[in-house]
Amino acid sequence: MPKFYITTPIYYVNDKPHIGHAYTTIAADVIARWHRLRGDDVFFLTGTDEHGEKIMKAATAAGKSPQEFVDGLAVVYKDAWKKLNISYDYFVRTSDPNHERLVKLFVDKLYKSGDLYKGIYEGWYCVSDETFFTQLQLRDGKCPECGKEVKLIKEEDYFFKLSKYQQRLLDFYKENPDFLSPKFRADEIKNRVKAGLKDLSITRSAVKWGVEFPPDKSYTIYVWVDALLNYVTALDWPDGKRFGEFWPADVHVMAKEINWFHSVIWPALLFCAGMEPPKKIFAHGWWTVDGKKMSKSVGNVVDPIDMSRKYSTDAFRYFLLREMPFGDDGDFSEKALVTRLNTELASDLGNLFNRVFTLAEKFDGKIEGRVELEMQLDIEGITKSMDNIELFNALAKIFEYVAAANKYVNDTRPWALKDEQLGNALYNLLEACRVLSIVLYPFMPETSEKVAKQLGTKVGTLEECKFRKFSAKVSKGELLFKKVDAG
Protein backbone atom coordinates (compact mmCIF):
# COMPACT_ATOMS: atom_id res chain seq x y z
CA MET A 1 0.00 0.00 0.00
CA PRO A 2 1.53 3.38 -0.95
CA LYS A 3 2.22 5.60 2.07
CA PHE A 4 1.14 9.23 2.18
CA TYR A 5 2.21 11.62 4.94
CA ILE A 6 0.65 15.08 5.10
CA THR A 7 0.94 17.78 7.76
CA THR A 8 -0.54 21.14 8.69
CA PRO A 9 1.49 23.72 10.63
CA ILE A 10 1.20 23.30 14.37
CA TYR A 11 -0.75 26.37 15.44
CA TYR A 12 0.14 28.78 18.21
CA VAL A 13 -2.25 28.30 21.06
CA ASN A 14 -2.39 31.92 22.13
CA ASP A 15 -6.03 32.01 21.03
CA LYS A 16 -8.78 29.84 19.51
CA PRO A 17 -8.57 29.00 15.79
CA HIS A 18 -9.88 31.40 13.15
CA ILE A 19 -10.79 30.74 9.52
CA GLY A 20 -7.14 30.90 8.40
CA HIS A 21 -6.25 27.95 10.63
CA ALA A 22 -9.44 26.17 9.59
CA TYR A 23 -8.59 26.71 5.93
CA THR A 24 -5.19 24.99 6.01
CA THR A 25 -6.54 22.17 8.14
CA ILE A 26 -9.59 21.59 5.94
CA ALA A 27 -7.45 21.66 2.79
CA ALA A 28 -5.07 19.10 4.31
CA ASP A 29 -8.07 17.02 5.35
CA VAL A 30 -9.39 17.07 1.77
CA ILE A 31 -6.02 15.89 0.46
CA ALA A 32 -5.76 13.20 3.16
CA ARG A 33 -9.27 11.92 2.42
CA TRP A 34 -8.51 11.91 -1.29
CA HIS A 35 -5.47 9.73 -0.75
CA ARG A 36 -7.48 7.35 1.42
CA LEU A 37 -10.02 7.09 -1.43
CA ARG A 38 -7.13 6.18 -3.71
CA GLY A 39 -6.23 3.37 -1.35
CA ASP A 40 -3.11 4.95 0.17
CA ASP A 41 -2.04 4.36 3.75
CA VAL A 42 -2.34 7.95 5.02
CA PHE A 43 -0.82 9.60 8.06
CA PHE A 44 -2.34 13.04 8.59
CA LEU A 45 -0.71 15.14 11.29
CA THR A 46 -1.82 18.35 12.94
CA GLY A 47 -1.19 19.82 16.37
CA THR A 48 -0.29 22.81 18.48
CA ASP A 49 2.81 24.96 18.98
CA GLU A 50 2.87 25.62 22.69
CA HIS A 51 6.24 27.05 23.72
CA GLY A 52 7.88 30.44 23.44
CA GLU A 53 7.47 34.03 24.40
CA LYS A 54 4.18 34.64 22.61
CA ILE A 55 2.43 31.81 24.48
CA MET A 56 4.05 32.77 27.77
CA LYS A 57 2.71 36.32 27.40
CA ALA A 58 -0.79 35.09 26.52
CA ALA A 59 -0.79 32.76 29.54
CA THR A 60 0.31 35.55 31.86
CA ALA A 61 -2.40 37.83 30.48
CA ALA A 62 -4.96 35.09 31.16
CA GLY A 63 -3.62 34.69 34.72
CA LYS A 64 -2.69 31.05 34.15
CA SER A 65 0.48 28.99 34.21
CA PRO A 66 1.71 28.31 30.66
CA GLN A 67 0.97 24.58 30.95
CA GLU A 68 -2.54 25.14 32.27
CA PHE A 69 -3.13 27.69 29.54
CA VAL A 70 -1.93 25.52 26.64
CA ASP A 71 -3.78 22.47 27.97
CA GLY A 72 -7.01 24.45 27.75
CA LEU A 73 -6.40 25.69 24.23
CA ALA A 74 -5.21 22.35 22.85
CA VAL A 75 -8.69 21.06 23.76
CA VAL A 76 -10.29 24.03 22.00
CA TYR A 77 -8.34 23.15 18.84
CA LYS A 78 -9.23 19.48 19.02
CA ASP A 79 -12.91 20.34 19.48
CA ALA A 80 -12.84 22.69 16.52
CA TRP A 81 -11.29 20.04 14.27
CA LYS A 82 -13.93 17.56 15.37
CA LYS A 83 -16.71 19.97 14.44
CA LEU A 84 -15.09 20.63 11.07
CA ASN A 85 -14.77 16.90 10.39
CA ILE A 86 -10.97 16.83 10.30
CA SER A 87 -9.78 13.25 9.98
CA TYR A 88 -6.30 13.69 11.47
CA ASP A 89 -4.44 10.59 12.59
CA TYR A 90 -2.34 12.20 15.30
CA PHE A 91 -2.38 15.46 17.22
CA VAL A 92 1.09 16.55 18.27
CA ARG A 93 1.73 19.02 21.11
CA THR A 94 5.13 20.57 21.67
CA SER A 95 4.72 20.46 25.46
CA ASP A 96 4.34 16.70 25.22
CA PRO A 97 7.26 15.01 27.07
CA ASN A 98 7.94 12.68 24.14
CA HIS A 99 8.28 15.62 21.76
CA GLU A 100 10.53 17.47 24.22
CA ARG A 101 12.76 14.45 24.69
CA LEU A 102 13.21 13.98 20.94
CA VAL A 103 13.81 17.69 20.32
CA LYS A 104 16.70 17.52 22.80
CA LEU A 105 18.06 14.45 21.07
CA PHE A 106 17.91 16.15 17.67
CA VAL A 107 19.51 19.38 18.88
CA ASP A 108 22.25 17.40 20.56
CA LYS A 109 22.89 15.81 17.20
CA LEU A 110 23.14 19.24 15.60
CA TYR A 111 25.59 20.27 18.33
CA LYS A 112 27.76 17.21 17.81
CA SER A 113 27.84 17.85 14.06
CA GLY A 114 29.89 20.96 14.73
CA ASP A 115 27.39 23.27 13.02
CA LEU A 116 26.42 25.14 16.20
CA TYR A 117 28.58 27.88 17.67
CA LYS A 118 28.26 30.60 20.26
CA GLY A 119 28.00 34.20 19.13
CA ILE A 120 26.31 37.51 19.81
CA TYR A 121 22.84 38.07 18.42
CA GLU A 122 21.94 41.68 17.90
CA GLY A 123 18.80 42.56 16.02
CA TRP A 124 15.05 42.82 16.14
CA TYR A 125 12.55 40.27 17.32
CA CYS A 126 8.83 40.04 16.61
CA VAL A 127 7.16 38.11 19.43
CA SER A 128 3.94 37.66 17.47
CA ASP A 129 5.74 35.84 14.64
CA GLU A 130 8.54 34.51 16.88
CA THR A 131 10.94 35.69 14.18
CA PHE A 132 14.27 37.54 14.10
CA PHE A 133 14.68 40.47 11.69
CA THR A 134 17.55 42.70 10.66
CA GLN A 135 17.20 46.48 10.69
CA LEU A 136 16.97 46.43 6.90
CA GLN A 137 14.08 43.98 6.89
CA LEU A 138 11.85 46.13 9.11
CA ARG A 139 9.03 48.10 7.53
CA ASP A 140 8.60 51.56 9.09
CA GLY A 141 10.42 50.24 12.12
CA LYS A 142 7.82 47.48 12.58
CA CYS A 143 7.57 43.76 11.81
CA PRO A 144 7.52 43.29 8.01
CA GLU A 145 5.18 40.30 8.38
CA CYS A 146 2.49 41.39 10.81
CA GLY A 147 3.14 45.12 11.28
CA LYS A 148 3.45 44.81 15.06
CA GLU A 149 6.13 46.37 17.29
CA VAL A 150 9.51 44.62 17.35
CA LYS A 151 12.04 44.67 20.15
CA LEU A 152 15.78 45.05 20.07
CA ILE A 153 17.61 42.00 21.38
CA LYS A 154 21.29 41.75 22.17
CA GLU A 155 22.34 38.50 23.74
CA GLU A 156 24.88 35.77 23.55
CA ASP A 157 23.26 32.80 21.78
CA TYR A 158 24.05 29.59 20.00
CA PHE A 159 23.88 29.83 16.24
CA PHE A 160 23.20 27.27 13.55
CA LYS A 161 25.47 27.58 10.49
CA LEU A 162 22.62 28.06 8.04
CA SER A 163 24.97 29.88 5.65
CA LYS A 164 26.93 26.66 5.15
CA TYR A 165 23.89 25.09 3.46
CA GLN A 166 23.31 27.72 0.77
CA GLN A 167 24.65 25.71 -2.17
CA ARG A 168 23.25 22.43 -0.93
CA LEU A 169 19.79 24.00 -0.76
CA LEU A 170 20.07 25.51 -4.23
CA ASP A 171 21.20 22.16 -5.64
CA PHE A 172 18.34 20.44 -3.86
CA TYR A 173 15.76 22.85 -5.33
CA LYS A 174 17.21 22.23 -8.77
CA GLU A 175 17.16 18.46 -8.44
CA ASN A 176 13.65 18.47 -6.97
CA PRO A 177 11.62 20.90 -9.06
CA ASP A 178 8.36 20.01 -7.28
CA PHE A 179 9.69 20.70 -3.80
CA LEU A 180 8.77 24.40 -3.72
CA SER A 181 5.05 24.66 -4.45
CA PRO A 182 3.10 26.29 -5.91
CA LYS A 183 5.62 27.12 -8.63
CA PHE A 184 4.96 30.86 -8.54
CA ARG A 185 6.33 31.04 -4.99
CA ALA A 186 9.54 29.17 -5.81
CA ASP A 187 11.51 32.06 -7.29
CA GLU A 188 11.15 34.24 -4.23
CA ILE A 189 12.68 31.54 -2.04
CA LYS A 190 15.44 30.70 -4.51
CA ASN A 191 16.37 34.35 -4.97
CA ARG A 192 16.55 34.93 -1.25
CA VAL A 193 18.75 31.88 -0.79
CA LYS A 194 20.97 32.99 -3.70
CA ALA A 195 21.33 36.40 -2.07
CA GLY A 196 23.01 34.70 0.90
CA LEU A 197 21.97 33.09 4.17
CA LYS A 198 22.64 34.44 7.63
CA ASP A 199 23.31 32.01 10.43
CA LEU A 200 20.34 31.44 12.68
CA SER A 201 20.20 32.04 16.42
CA ILE A 202 18.65 28.86 17.80
CA THR A 203 18.62 29.50 21.53
CA ARG A 204 17.03 32.06 23.85
CA SER A 205 18.30 32.81 27.32
CA ALA A 206 15.42 34.99 28.49
CA VAL A 207 12.66 32.60 27.44
CA LYS A 208 12.04 29.98 30.09
CA TRP A 209 8.90 28.38 28.59
CA GLY A 210 10.62 26.09 26.11
CA VAL A 211 12.74 22.99 25.70
CA GLU A 212 16.06 23.07 27.50
CA PHE A 213 19.11 23.32 25.23
CA PRO A 214 21.09 20.19 26.22
CA PRO A 215 24.65 21.49 25.70
CA ASP A 216 24.02 24.58 27.85
CA LYS A 217 21.08 24.45 30.22
CA SER A 218 20.94 28.18 30.76
CA TYR A 219 19.20 28.37 27.37
CA THR A 220 15.99 27.13 25.81
CA ILE A 221 15.72 26.06 22.18
CA TYR A 222 14.34 28.66 19.77
CA VAL A 223 10.62 27.96 19.39
CA TRP A 224 10.81 27.53 15.61
CA VAL A 225 13.39 24.73 15.83
CA ASP A 226 11.25 23.09 18.51
CA ALA A 227 8.17 23.50 16.29
CA LEU A 228 9.59 22.24 12.99
CA LEU A 229 10.76 19.09 14.68
CA ASN A 230 7.14 18.10 15.36
CA TYR A 231 7.03 16.63 11.87
CA VAL A 232 9.48 13.92 12.88
CA THR A 233 8.86 13.60 16.63
CA ALA A 234 5.22 12.72 15.87
CA LEU A 235 6.58 9.74 13.93
CA ASP A 236 8.80 8.77 16.88
CA TRP A 237 12.02 9.62 15.12
CA PRO A 238 14.63 8.13 15.09
CA ASP A 239 13.64 4.53 15.83
CA GLY A 240 9.84 4.52 15.61
CA LYS A 241 8.00 2.27 13.19
CA ARG A 242 6.03 5.23 11.89
CA PHE A 243 9.21 7.13 11.12
CA GLY A 244 10.46 4.26 9.00
CA GLU A 245 7.14 4.06 7.19
CA PHE A 246 6.23 7.68 6.62
CA TRP A 247 9.37 9.82 6.43
CA PRO A 248 10.07 11.76 4.23
CA ALA A 249 6.71 13.56 4.36
CA ASP A 250 4.84 13.83 1.08
CA VAL A 251 3.73 17.38 1.76
CA HIS A 252 3.86 20.03 4.46
CA VAL A 253 0.96 22.45 3.94
CA MET A 254 0.98 26.02 5.32
CA ALA A 255 0.52 29.64 4.28
CA LYS A 256 3.13 31.79 2.62
CA GLU A 257 4.34 33.72 5.69
CA ILE A 258 6.05 30.62 7.08
CA ASN A 259 7.26 29.25 3.76
CA TRP A 260 10.83 30.37 4.54
CA PHE A 261 11.00 28.29 7.71
CA HIS A 262 9.76 25.22 5.86
CA SER A 263 11.57 25.62 2.55
CA VAL A 264 14.94 26.82 3.82
CA ILE A 265 15.52 26.36 7.55
CA TRP A 266 13.82 22.96 7.86
CA PRO A 267 15.70 21.19 5.05
CA ALA A 268 18.99 22.73 6.25
CA LEU A 269 18.42 21.36 9.77
CA LEU A 270 17.62 17.96 8.27
CA PHE A 271 20.73 18.04 6.07
CA CYS A 272 22.81 18.78 9.15
CA ALA A 273 21.28 15.80 10.96
CA GLY A 274 21.92 13.57 7.93
CA MET A 275 18.23 13.18 7.16
CA GLU A 276 16.11 13.39 4.05
CA PRO A 277 14.05 16.55 3.53
CA PRO A 278 10.29 16.34 2.88
CA LYS A 279 9.12 15.83 -0.71
CA LYS A 280 7.04 18.95 -1.02
CA ILE A 281 6.33 22.25 0.70
CA PHE A 282 3.00 23.76 -0.31
CA ALA A 283 2.55 27.40 0.72
CA HIS A 284 -0.96 28.67 0.08
CA GLY A 285 -2.24 32.25 0.18
CA TRP A 286 -3.97 34.39 2.77
CA TRP A 287 -7.57 35.11 3.51
CA THR A 288 -8.54 38.65 4.25
CA VAL A 289 -11.97 39.39 5.67
CA ASP A 290 -14.07 42.05 3.98
CA GLY A 291 -10.88 43.26 2.32
CA LYS A 292 -8.80 43.56 5.51
CA LYS A 293 -6.23 41.43 7.30
CA MET A 294 -7.93 39.63 10.16
CA SER A 295 -7.11 41.15 13.51
CA LYS A 296 -8.63 41.49 16.92
CA SER A 297 -8.22 45.25 16.90
CA VAL A 298 -10.08 45.59 13.57
CA GLY A 299 -12.69 43.19 14.97
CA ASN A 300 -12.99 41.13 11.80
CA VAL A 301 -11.76 37.76 13.06
CA VAL A 302 -14.13 35.07 11.77
CA ASP A 303 -14.80 32.04 13.95
CA PRO A 304 -14.95 28.88 11.78
CA ILE A 305 -17.22 27.16 14.29
CA ASP A 306 -19.78 29.97 14.02
CA MET A 307 -19.72 29.55 10.24
CA SER A 308 -20.13 25.80 10.42
CA ARG A 309 -23.00 26.09 12.89
CA LYS A 310 -24.75 28.70 10.81
CA TYR A 311 -24.34 27.21 7.35
CA SER A 312 -23.24 23.57 7.97
CA THR A 313 -19.70 22.24 8.09
CA ASP A 314 -19.86 21.02 4.49
CA ALA A 315 -21.04 24.34 3.10
CA PHE A 316 -18.22 26.09 4.94
CA ARG A 317 -15.62 23.56 3.76
CA TYR A 318 -16.92 23.82 0.21
CA PHE A 319 -16.87 27.61 0.22
CA LEU A 320 -13.27 27.84 1.43
CA LEU A 321 -11.98 25.58 -1.31
CA ARG A 322 -14.22 26.88 -4.08
CA GLU A 323 -13.87 30.61 -3.50
CA MET A 324 -10.17 30.90 -4.31
CA PRO A 325 -7.63 28.69 -6.05
CA PHE A 326 -5.50 26.90 -3.45
CA GLY A 327 -2.29 28.91 -3.48
CA ASP A 328 -3.76 32.35 -4.18
CA ASP A 329 -4.98 35.05 -1.78
CA GLY A 330 -8.68 35.68 -1.40
CA ASP A 331 -11.30 37.55 0.52
CA PHE A 332 -13.81 35.96 2.87
CA SER A 333 -17.29 37.35 3.10
CA GLU A 334 -20.37 35.76 4.55
CA LYS A 335 -22.38 37.17 1.68
CA ALA A 336 -20.27 35.26 -0.85
CA LEU A 337 -20.65 32.10 1.23
CA VAL A 338 -24.44 32.47 1.26
CA THR A 339 -24.50 33.01 -2.51
CA ARG A 340 -22.53 29.84 -3.18
CA LEU A 341 -24.61 27.88 -0.68
CA ASN A 342 -27.88 29.02 -2.26
CA THR A 343 -26.83 28.51 -5.85
CA GLU A 344 -24.14 25.85 -6.22
CA LEU A 345 -25.06 23.72 -3.22
CA ALA A 346 -28.84 24.12 -2.79
CA SER A 347 -29.95 24.82 -6.38
CA ASP A 348 -27.43 22.81 -8.38
CA LEU A 349 -26.12 19.94 -6.29
CA GLY A 350 -28.87 19.54 -3.70
CA ASN A 351 -31.61 19.85 -6.25
CA LEU A 352 -30.05 17.21 -8.48
CA PHE A 353 -30.02 14.67 -5.66
CA ASN A 354 -33.49 15.68 -4.56
CA ARG A 355 -35.05 15.35 -8.01
CA VAL A 356 -33.40 12.03 -8.70
CA PHE A 357 -34.23 10.50 -5.34
CA THR A 358 -37.84 11.68 -5.49
CA LEU A 359 -38.31 9.98 -8.85
CA ALA A 360 -36.45 6.86 -7.84
CA GLU A 361 -38.41 6.42 -4.66
CA LYS A 362 -41.70 6.53 -6.52
CA PHE A 363 -40.60 4.23 -9.32
CA ASP A 364 -41.64 0.64 -8.89
CA GLY A 365 -40.31 -0.84 -12.11
CA LYS A 366 -36.87 -2.19 -12.91
CA ILE A 367 -34.01 0.29 -12.89
CA GLU A 368 -31.56 -0.87 -15.47
CA GLY A 369 -29.01 0.84 -17.61
CA ARG A 370 -29.00 0.36 -21.30
CA VAL A 371 -28.54 3.92 -22.40
CA GLU A 372 -25.20 5.22 -21.24
CA LEU A 373 -25.12 8.79 -20.06
CA GLU A 374 -23.50 10.94 -22.66
CA MET A 375 -21.66 13.01 -20.15
CA GLN A 376 -18.82 11.27 -18.36
CA LEU A 377 -17.15 12.24 -15.15
CA ASP A 378 -13.62 13.42 -15.95
CA ILE A 379 -12.06 11.15 -13.35
CA GLU A 380 -8.61 11.36 -14.92
CA GLY A 381 -8.75 15.14 -14.86
CA ILE A 382 -9.96 15.16 -11.26
CA THR A 383 -7.22 12.73 -10.23
CA LYS A 384 -4.60 14.87 -11.89
CA SER A 385 -5.87 18.03 -10.23
CA MET A 386 -6.08 16.41 -6.81
CA ASP A 387 -2.64 14.84 -7.08
CA ASN A 388 -1.25 18.25 -8.05
CA ILE A 389 -3.06 19.85 -5.09
CA GLU A 390 -5.22 21.95 -7.42
CA LEU A 391 -8.28 21.51 -5.25
CA PHE A 392 -10.16 24.33 -6.91
CA ASN A 393 -9.76 22.76 -10.37
CA ALA A 394 -10.94 19.40 -9.11
CA LEU A 395 -14.06 21.00 -7.65
CA ALA A 396 -14.68 22.87 -10.89
CA LYS A 397 -14.58 19.57 -12.80
CA ILE A 398 -16.91 17.89 -10.32
CA PHE A 399 -19.39 20.73 -10.66
CA GLU A 400 -19.24 20.56 -14.45
CA TYR A 401 -20.52 17.04 -14.00
CA VAL A 402 -23.27 18.24 -11.66
CA ALA A 403 -24.33 20.72 -14.33
CA ALA A 404 -24.29 18.03 -17.00
CA ALA A 405 -26.42 15.73 -14.83
CA ASN A 406 -28.91 18.52 -14.23
CA LYS A 407 -29.01 19.17 -17.95
CA TYR A 408 -29.67 15.47 -18.52
CA VAL A 409 -32.67 15.69 -16.19
CA ASN A 410 -33.97 18.74 -18.02
CA ASP A 411 -33.42 17.19 -21.45
CA THR A 412 -34.78 13.70 -20.77
CA ARG A 413 -37.66 14.94 -18.56
CA PRO A 414 -37.84 11.64 -16.67
CA TRP A 415 -41.04 12.65 -14.90
CA ALA A 416 -42.77 12.41 -18.28
CA LEU A 417 -41.20 9.03 -19.15
CA LYS A 418 -42.56 5.61 -18.43
CA ASP A 419 -41.41 2.05 -17.79
CA GLU A 420 -38.20 1.06 -19.52
CA GLN A 421 -37.30 4.57 -20.64
CA LEU A 422 -37.78 5.89 -17.15
CA GLY A 423 -35.78 2.94 -15.79
CA ASN A 424 -32.90 3.80 -18.08
CA ALA A 425 -32.93 7.47 -17.21
CA LEU A 426 -33.04 6.67 -13.52
CA TYR A 427 -30.19 4.22 -13.83
CA ASN A 428 -28.01 6.89 -15.35
CA LEU A 429 -28.97 9.49 -12.81
CA LEU A 430 -28.62 7.25 -9.80
CA GLU A 431 -25.21 6.12 -10.96
CA ALA A 432 -24.23 9.75 -11.51
CA CYS A 433 -25.31 10.49 -7.92
CA ARG A 434 -23.37 7.53 -6.57
CA VAL A 435 -20.22 8.50 -8.43
CA LEU A 436 -20.64 12.09 -7.22
CA SER A 437 -20.88 10.87 -3.65
CA ILE A 438 -17.38 9.39 -4.08
CA VAL A 439 -15.59 12.34 -5.64
CA LEU A 440 -17.29 14.85 -3.36
CA TYR A 441 -16.34 12.89 -0.27
CA PRO A 442 -12.98 14.56 0.42
CA PHE A 443 -14.63 17.99 0.29
CA MET A 444 -18.01 17.31 1.88
CA PRO A 445 -17.82 14.03 3.77
CA GLU A 446 -21.11 14.40 5.62
CA THR A 447 -23.06 15.15 2.46
CA SER A 448 -21.44 12.23 0.66
CA GLU A 449 -22.34 9.87 3.44
CA LYS A 450 -25.94 11.07 3.42
CA VAL A 451 -26.18 10.62 -0.34
CA ALA A 452 -24.69 7.15 -0.15
CA LYS A 453 -27.15 6.26 2.59
CA GLN A 454 -30.10 7.45 0.53
CA LEU A 455 -28.80 5.24 -2.25
CA GLY A 456 -28.73 2.35 0.18
CA THR A 457 -24.95 2.01 -0.01
CA LYS A 458 -21.69 3.30 1.49
CA VAL A 459 -19.30 5.85 -0.01
CA GLY A 460 -17.17 3.83 -2.42
CA THR A 461 -13.52 4.01 -3.38
CA LEU A 462 -12.11 5.77 -6.43
CA GLU A 463 -12.13 2.51 -8.35
CA GLU A 464 -15.88 2.44 -7.98
CA CYS A 465 -16.32 5.67 -9.93
CA LYS A 466 -17.33 3.71 -13.04
CA PHE A 467 -20.94 3.00 -13.85
CA ARG A 468 -21.91 -0.52 -12.90
CA LYS A 469 -24.94 -2.70 -12.44
CA PHE A 470 -27.45 -0.89 -10.32
CA SER A 471 -28.57 -2.64 -7.21
CA ALA A 472 -29.71 -0.18 -4.64
CA LYS A 473 -32.90 0.64 -2.85
CA VAL A 474 -33.38 4.39 -2.73
CA SER A 475 -34.93 6.00 0.29
CA LYS A 476 -35.04 9.74 0.15
CA GLY A 477 -33.92 11.60 3.23
CA GLU A 478 -34.15 15.21 4.25
CA LEU A 479 -32.95 18.00 1.95
CA LEU A 480 -29.14 18.11 1.83
CA PHE A 481 -28.78 21.87 1.56
CA LYS A 482 -31.40 24.41 2.52
CA LYS A 483 -31.30 27.89 1.08
CA VAL A 484 -30.67 30.62 3.58
CA ASP A 485 -31.88 34.18 3.53
CA ALA A 486 -29.22 36.35 1.92
CA GLY A 487 -30.16 39.11 4.38
Give the residues lining the site for ligand ME8 (CB under 6 A): 9-12, 20-21, 23-24, 49, 227-228, 230, 254-255, 257-258, 286-287, 294
Residue pair 70/31 in contact (Cβ under 8 Å)? The answer is no
Q: By C-beta, is 19 or 455 nearer to ligand ME8?
A: 19
How many angstroms separate the CA atoms of 321 and 339, rounded? 15
How many angstroms separate the CA atoms of 37 and 441, rounded? 9
Q: By C-beta, is 50 or 431 nearer to ligand ME8?
A: 50
Residue pair 374/405 in contact (Cβ under 8 Å)? The answer is no
Beta carbon of residue 312, minimum distance to ligand ME8 (angstroms, whole number): 21
- How many CA atoms lie within 13 Å of 277's alpha carbon, on the beta-carbon side? 24
Beta carbon of residue 179, minimum distance to ligand ME8 (angstroms, whole number): 17
Q: By C-beta, is 336 or 417 nearer to ligand ME8?
A: 336
Q: By C-beta, is 186 or 254 nearer to ligand ME8?
A: 254
Beta carbon of residue 326, minimum distance to ligand ME8 (angstroms, whole number): 11
Task: Supply the DSSP string of 397-454, one letter for each residue.
Answer: HHHHHHHHHHHHHHHH-GGG--HHHHHHHHHHHHHHHHHHHHHTTTT-HHHHHHHHHH
For residue 7, the cross-strand partners are: 45, 252
Q: By C-beta, is 45 or 169 nearer to ligand ME8?
A: 45
| Chain position whose Cβ is nearest to ligand ME8 | 20
Q: By C-beta, is 158 or 266 nearer to ligand ME8?
A: 266
Whether a cis peptide bond, with omega within 30° of 0, leads into 267 is no
Beta carbon of residue 143, minimum distance to ligand ME8 (angstroms, whole number): 13
How many angstroms separate the CA atoms of 131 and 223, rounded? 9
How many angstroms separate the CA atoms of 225 and 211, rounded? 10
Beta carbon of residue 20, minimum distance to ligand ME8 (angstroms, whole number): 2
How many angstroms separate the CA atoms of 269 and 157, rounded? 17
Beta carbon of residue 442, minimum distance to ligand ME8 (angstroms, whole number): 19
